[in-house]
Amino acid sequence: MKTRGRPSTKAKKEPTEAPVTSEPKTQLGPNVANPPQLFILPEGISKNARVISVENPRSTNDSRYLVCPERGFYEFTKVATPKSTPRSLLLSSLDAEAVDGDNGVEDSTDKLSSSGYIMRDAGLFVATPMDPLFFVLPVLAPVSASRGSEPPKKLFLSGEDYLDKVTAASPHLISLLRVDSLRASIEKRMAAVCDTVDAGDETMYRLSEEKMTRELLKKAKKMSENGLPASMEDKFIRKSLDVPILSIKREESSLNDEETPADTPDTQASTTSTDTATSSFSEASTAATSFSEHSQGTATQHMKTPSIPPINAPDGVVDLLRLRTALFFICSNYIAPYLSETIKKLVLSSTSTVDFAPLEAHLVHLAKLRQEALAARQLGGTSQKRSLEEDEDGESRAEKKRKLEEEEKRKKAGESRGVKNLKKVNTTGMKKMSDFFKKK
């Protein structure tokens, strides 16, 4: 007997969707250990210009500089965004098909080539002019061989002798110094700070401290007259000349505490670092290191800024402080420490061409006022603390008295009528109950 079989019940295959991947179409390459950097070079420099290692006149370490045989020396100043707002750069070149080969004009539909590079750091290195005088000063005024020994004697030497000492520390300069225009510009800067003597067809040079201080003051004056950056103006000028408030009414201080914070003494030194990566310090370094009468950089546009209250100081004191701040900025960034200390002493001495005595007197006066304000503030804090303690003591005494009265009322409420009557009995002349139990 045949039986009818049941039809097969196989599960139908459902169409499966393709997995969605979040991977980008173009894979980025791995991080490079030594990534490239972006340099902004001046327009119109010579084709023979080179980026070479030259001994830093401040730290005596090798640093990168751009040297042009026709236009001189350039330093690289880093301009970067704050670390709180990270940025990156995408570098790529135009495709050859996007450029018209006949007239060299780019087509409207420019195409970027497939090869590019992403820089994690969006910092730019801008080449700014630098005075070659800073590279020659260490050989014009060499440091003592040993500590405590007398400085070496200053002798008249030829420009060739000084340049040989410079190239001994920076050998990469040898080929560039063979150009007559570059050698002439360096010797011209040497003559500005040296006493010269003609020996036949050759000129001999010897450093003059008076001419050196005069030349550096000239550079600092040019820098201060062009205007210090806003950060330097606020930190080293306004805060240094800020007059402290000696007395503040308690009612006004409590109402305006959030709007007008109390002034504190400013004890920050007038030194800066070359690691500051801001455009304002780039402008300051350009003004400090340039030696030409007309700046080769682009002029900055003056934007409309809110009105800033004037500085309360005697006449001429603000200009003197700006001049001294600019000079200290130059010394702390471009001159060796042993030589910068000598320059500061010469500038602040009585033989200097600029008299800084009014500035020093005003700064001493402000320091005295700050000490008085600090003492008054501490005294006010002590008296306020004492008054608070007295208020707390008064409140605690009142609280104790109130608790004692409540306890007495509670005890009286719990006493019986007999006990109350016994308390009214006159016990004068009577013996106490404890007297009957004493030993004879």
- Separation CA 71–CA 184 (nearest Å): 12
Pick from 71, 50, 72, 51: nearest CA to 63: 51
Q: What pLDDT was estimated at residue 192?
A: 94
User: CA separation (Å) from 341 to 328, 337, 344?
Assistant: 10, 6, 5
CB-CB contact of 362 with 324 (8 Å): no
Residue of 159, 157, 140 whose CA lies nearest to 208: 140
pTM listed for this prediction: 0.64
The confidence score (pLDDT) of residue 12 equals 53
* Average pLDDT over every residue of 359-379: 86
Confidence grade of residue 84 (pLDDT, cut at 50, 70, 90): confident
Per domain, the residue ranges of the chain are 38-83+117-142+153-207, 210-291+315-376
Q: What's the rounded Cα separation, in Å, for the pair 283 and 350?
A: 32
Task: Check if the beta carbon of residue 129 is closer than 8 Å to that of residue 105.
Answer: no
Judged by phi (left if over 0) then psi (alpha if -120 to 50, else beta), residue 72 lies in: left
How far apart CA 14 and CA 10 sit, in angstroms, is: 12
pLDDT at 382 over 70: no
- Res 323: pLDDT: 93
Report the C-alpha gap between 364 and 358 in whole angstroms. 10
Determine which helix (DSSP H) or strand (DSSP E) holds 116, and give its type and residue range.
strand 112-119
Cα(208)–Cα(215) distance, integer angstroms: 11
* Least confident stretch, 99-113, 183-197, 339-353, 425-439: 99-113
Per-residue DSSP letter, 30: P
Q: How do 72-79 and 62-68 pair as beta strands?
A: antiparallel
Separation of alpha carbons 176 and 68, rounded Å: 8
Q: What is the pLDDT of residue 296?
A: 40
Distances (CA, A) of 395 to 384, 398, 399, 405: 17, 5, 6, 16
The most confident of the ranges 26-35, 252-261, 296-305, 364-373 is 364-373
For residue 298, pLDDT over 50 is answered with: no
Specify the pairing of strand 157-158 against strand 202-207.
antiparallel
Distance CA 109, CA 26 (A): 22
Percent of the chain with pLDDT over 90: 28
Backbone conformation region of residue 142, classed left if phi is above 0, alpha if psi is from -120 to 50, else beta: beta
The helix/strand/coil state of 146 is: coil
Ramachandran assignment for 111, one of left (phi > 0), alpha (psi -120 to 50 degrees), beta (any other): beta
The confidence score (pLDDT) of residue 133 equals: 94
271 pLDDT higher than 50: no
Helix axes 337-348, 317-334, angle to 10 degrees: 160
What was the pLDDT predicted at 217?
A: 93
Helix (H, G, I), strand (E, B) or coil at 313: coil
Q: What pLDDT shows up at residue 385?
A: 65
Read off the pLDDT of each residue in 250-266 and give the average, rounded to a whole number.
Answer: 42
> Residues 86, 90, 95, CA angle at the centre, nearest 5°?
170
Count CB neighbours of 314 within 10 A.
13
pLDDT band at residue 274, thresholds of 50, 70 and 90? very low
Q: Alpha-carbon distance 300 to 292, whole Å?
A: 18
pLDDT bin (cut points 50, 70, 90) of residue 245 is confident
In 114-158, which ranges are continuous DSSP H helix? 133-140
The reported pLDDT for the residue numbered 438 is 79
pLDDT band at 384 (very low <50, low <70, confident <90, very high): low
Rounded average pLDDT over 16-26: 61
Given this model, what pLDDT does residue 408 score?
82
Structure tokens at 7: 């039809």
pLDDT tens digit sequence for 96-155:
454 444 544 444 444 444 567 788 888 889 999 999 999 999 999 888 655 556 667 778
Average pLDDT on 43-65 reads: 91
Q: Are 324 and 356 in contact (CB under 8 A)?
A: yes
